[in-house]
Structure formats: structure tokens, C-alpha cells
Amino acid sequence: MLDYSYENNAHNEGYLVVCGVDEAGRGPLAGPVFAGAVILPENYTHEILNDSKKLSEKKRDLVYDDIIRDAVSWSVGMATEQEIDDINILNATFLAMKRAVEGLNIKPDLAFIDGNRYANTGVKEITIVKGDSKCMSVAAASIIAKVSRDRFMQEVDKQYPQYQFSKHKGYGTKLHYEMIEQYGISPVHRKTFLKNIIGK
């Protein structure tokens, strides 16, 4: 079970408001990249909160409900597929993270960022490699980002049912490539991710 030790260490160093930040959807061929930012209550505990990739969809949904109920503040940011094509996926991910932090109704004085790159969110940052499986607030942010993006892609599926986005969420599965082969590129596809197909 994850504990609150990263956040406690930050509080002991004088940081009052600490948030975790993580993204979902860097790899897919379609749809936006999402980021979550979460400020948890001090000494927060949760039985199953973990990296979103380690939980089933059902458990993610349960933890998501707990986080939005319990968090001091939480926010979601996103960068569109157009922005991904314009500024590349890494910069678009940082943009989504910045938007998530800016969306919090309390400004944090420290952000734990999942990974090894600073996101330029506008507040002091500490990067944590595999932070979503080590740091409680980053794990919470990973859940917020993942569930929010999956639900968004289910709405996209209603606009473009032929691509079956509700099944693959835009990721490059065999089914998704077959649908692209059959129906071509949609407005929600990331063109920079599909150069080989577009160039045929």
C-alpha cells in the first residue's frame, strides 16, 4: 500500500501545499493527452490507491470517486491532438500538466511530477521516476488523468463509432489499425503519429 511519506518529507522541509501530477495518453494514435493534478489531505490513507496501470478499470473508477470526494483540490488538464501535432507529444504533455496545476483552486508550492523531466508548471517541481507507483499524490493524479481520458474517449466513440474508440481508447491496437485501414484518418487522429499511413 502506498503511504504519504513523500508528501510528509516535503511538509517537513517547509512546503505547505503539495500536489502530485501525472499524465495519461502519451502513446495513443488518437485523442488528447490528459494530465491530473491532486492535492491530498495530510496523512491520507487508501487501501487500493496505486498506479492507474496496476488497477482494473472497475477499481480505477472506485478510486477515482474516492479521490474527487477526499482531495483538498483536484484538476484535469489536456492538450488536443492538434496541439500534439503542432508542438510534439512531450511539449503537449507538459502543457496538459501545466493546465492541470493551474486548474487547482489552491496554488501548490510544490509539485511532484511523474517521470524524469520538469514540466514547467509554474511552481517548484520535484521529479520522481515511476512516481505513480511510489508517491501517493502522483498515483492519485494518474487515476484522475486515466479515468478522465478513458471517459472522454468513450464520448469520442459516439462521434466516430466506426473506429470503436470505446474499446481501444485510441491506442495502437490491431483493431484500431484495421479501422484506420478501413475508414482512413479521422479529425481526432494525431497525424504526426500516423505519418507512415498518411504517406501511403
What are the tens digits of pLDDT across the range 36-56? 999 999 999 999 999 899 999
* Domains in the chain: boundaries: 5-198
Neighbouring residues of 8: CB distance < 8 A, sequence distance ≥ 6: 43
What are the tens digits of pLDDT across the range 126-135? 999 999 999 9
pLDDT at 199: 59
pLDDT, averaged across the chain: 96
Any idea which architecture 5-198 has in CATH? Answer: 2-Layer Sandwich (3.30)
Cα 92 from Cα 85, distance rounded (Å): 9
Q: Tell me: pLDDT of 195 over 90.
A: no
pLDDT at 19: 98
pTM exceeding the 0.85 threshold for the entire prediction: yes
pLDDT at 197: 81
pLDDT at 167: 96
Interstrand relation of 110-114 and 73-79 (parallel, antiparallel or unpaired): unpaired
pLDDT at 184: 93
Neighbouring residues of 16: CB distance < 8 A, sequence distance ≥ 6: 109
Dihedrals phi, psi of 23, to nearest 5 degrees: -115, 165
pLDDT at 200: 46
What are the tens digits of pLDDT across the range 56-100? 999 999 999 999 999 999 999 999 999 999 999 999 999 999 999
pLDDT, average across residues 135-147: 97
Helix axis angle, 5-12 relative to 136-159, nearest 10°?
A: 120
